[in-house]
Each structure stands twice: as structure tokens, then as C-alpha cells.
Amino acid sequence: MRALIGAVALASCAVISAARLEDWRSDQALFAAATEVTPLFPAAALQRGAVALRYGQWWDAYAWTIRAAIFSEPRPEPPRYPGQPDWHTRVRGQLIWIDAALPVCDLPAARGWCSS
Amino acid sequence: MATVAIYAHSLSGESVYEDLRQPMTIAFGSRWISRVVVWLTQAVSMAPIAGRSVSLALHLVNGVLVWRLASAVLPELAGVFACALFLWHPLNTEAVAYAANQPELLVALFTLSALLLADRSRVLAWLACGCAVLAKEPGIAAFLLVPAWMAVRGRWSARACVVWIALSTLPALACWPMVAGHGNGLPVLHTVALNLSAIGWLLTKFVVPVGLTVLPDWWWLTPPAIGLCLAGWMFVYAIGAGIPAVSVVASFVLLSVLPRLLWVLPGGLREHHAYLATVALSVGAAGWLSSTHRSADASIRSL
């Protein structure tokens, strides 16, 4: 019985790992087509940049924020909930907030977002 | 071959996430050995596939070391199972598919080498532990895992363990700035409880590997949730009161992540941070399946 459990566990691990690494491959394609990135990634990157900033990880905050700005460039407006500000306003608000501690708005990738 | 087949999909393609700034990640702190590996890899090729292939090779070597380690305490077939579980487990995919996580693989390589070398030479084992620290700072856990491993198997006396740990003070002090420089404004006990809960949650993915993500969201780790997670750890040790092998595996898991309990990371803990801990879990699972935990329990009780 335990041998059967072991065999099933190993087979499950192999299948789930292969599926997860297939997702990884999709992420690679996603990064290659950065201008078509889904709205989720910039949000996660901005969130991570904000958390890094809170903990004083300056270079980490910097890297994630810039990445968010770059990947947020030409893209369609994502769906939003009632009362939620539009995507551009949200990215701009976060960038300006982070710019108070880091000069991110001086960077070419973020300049358009901060000034508009 | 099966491991290579599983990972084949992740080898090609563009760099993703932190691989985009891999040199910066590697350059952090005193990760000299990790830097050398990156330099050597990039001297051969700058393509993302080069770094990922090195990671996969390190993972395969670690699998062989897990097999050797498990075979020291379990039947041969159980050792093979532990090796396969470690190599194929989804929780380890982030550590391997991400070239930026090579330091974690190197820490495991040197820690496993130290555990195997401790039977032959304490000097070589100590040097291997030092290499683990030079791969990544949390490698300092190797200095604790070696005496624990030798004491559990009855190979070292309490005096030998104390002398070893005393000799490990210097590298531990060298790693201290890593911990001290990453305050989050929370009391130390809160930080430890937070990280202990996060690690506990990550390790539940070893049993139920669903919801894996490169960017775990820890917003839900409020004080009540932390309390529940800590209760989970107590429950594991309560089981361990009846089955000592469970306590031993849990203790090895805790020792392997001990430096992480004090280290505050901006994005919180991530799956690759549990890579070394999955060694103990793989061997523990193999022990349970081979029904040798009863004999292991008897040995532990006799110590």
C-alpha cells in the first residue's frame, strides 16, 4: 500500500512540476512580449516595489518600480471595479508616491507616467 | 533523464523576473562562490540557457547527494525514493528554473557534502560548511545541521558537538550584518513568528503542491493567522512526541531555515528559500513509506 502511495506521489510530483515549468515557459513568452503584458504583472511589480521601499531596500524598490513602469507602457485599459481609479491613475499615483523617496520620475521609462 | 525531461521546457526562452538582474543578485554580500559560478558560466555563454543548465546540473548533483544521505539511514530503495521526490518535487522548481537562485542550490550542495563528509573528516566537513556560507549567507545553517546529523546518528558526543559549534562562531559573526541590516521595525519575536509562519505555510506545499507562485502574497499573515501557523508547528511536535522521527525531521527543517527566521526580506519568503528544507522532508517521507520510522524511533529513543 505504501509503495502504491509512493508511486502515485512521485508521478504527481513529476506531472505538477512539468505543468508548472510549462507555465514558466509562458512567462518567458510574456516577458518577451512585454508590451502586451497582462495588467497583473505591473500591479505585482509595483506592490513589490512599494514593500521593498517600506523595508528600506532601495535598489530593490527601484528595480521593481522601473520594471512596472516599463511593462505598463502601451496596453489596453484593464477591467476595473466600480469606484476604482483607472489604471493610468493608479500607476501614476504609485510612481509619484515612490518618487518622494526615489527619483524614479527622472527616468525615461517613468517620465511619461509621472508628467501626464 | 526523467528530471531533465521535466525541466527541459524551462531551459530555453528569455530571462524572467529576477534573472533580468541576476548579476546584481549574485553580487550581494559575500557570495563569492556563487559569483565565481556566474562568472564561469557567463564566460562560456551569456545566453539564459547557460545559467539554467548549470542550475539543473547542480540540482541533479544535489539529488545524488540526497540519495547518498538517505541511504545512510534508510534502505536502498527508500534512498532512491527520497532522491526522486527531491528532484521532481514542484516546490523545488522555482529554485532550479530561476538562474538567480543558484546560490540556494550551491548552499544545498555544500551542506549535503558537509553532512556526508562529517563521517570521514571534520576538517573537510567544516570547510564544506564554510563554502555553503560563501555561496549564500543562510548557508550558516550547515554549521548547525552537521552536529545535529552526527548526534542523531550517535556518531558524535555532546562534547564534540559543543566544540564544533564553538568553532562555528566566527562564520556566524561574519553573517550577522546580513541579519542586522534588514530591520523592518517590528519586534524581533514578531519577525521570528512571522517568518516561522511563512515557512510553515510554504512547507505545507510539500504535501499539497498547489497554488505555487513566484511572488507569494503574505498580506494574510495577520496576528491570528500567525497564531494558527504556530499552532501548526506545535501540532507537528505533538505528533513527534509519539513518533520521534517526526520531531527529528521537523527539527532538521527548522535548523535549515533558522537564519531565515531573523532575515527580513522585502517580498517575504519565497519557495526557493525552502530548497534545503525539502531535503529533510524528502528523506522523512521516504522513511515513512519504507516503514523504517519505527526502527528510527527506537534508535532515537535509545540515544
Q: Using a CB-CB distance cutoff of 8 angstroms, which residues of chain A are in contact with residue B81?
A: 6, 10
Contact: B84, A51; criterion CB under 8 Å: no
Whole-number pLDDT of residue A72 = 55
Which of 29-68 (A) contact B at CB < 8 A?
29-32, 44, 48, 51-52, 54-57, 59-61, 63, 67
The 3 state secondary structure assigned to A27-40 is HHHHHHCHHHCCCH
Per-residue pLDDT tens over the stretch B94-131:
889 888 788 899 999 999 999 999 988 888 999 999 89
Q: What is the mean pLDDT of residues B262-276?
A: 75
Per-residue pLDDT tens over the stretch A7-65:
888 888 888 888 878 766 655 554 443 323 334 455 556 666 665 555 555 555 666 66
**Which of B84, B93, B184 faces A20 most closely, judged by CB atoms?**
B93
Contact: A48, B182; criterion CB under 8 Å: no
**Which of B12, B85, B288 faces A10 most closely, judged by CB atoms?**
B85
Residue in this structure with the C-alpha cell 502511495, named with its chain if needed: A5
Cα(B20)–Cα(B166) distance, rounded to whole angstroms? 40
What cell numbers appear for B224 in the block?
Answer: 491570528
Contact: A5, B89; criterion CB under 8 Å: no
pLDDT at B22 > cutoff 60: no
What cell numbers appear for B163 in the block?
Answer: 566544540
Give the DSSP letter of residue A79: P
Helices (H), B208-275: 223-242, 244-262
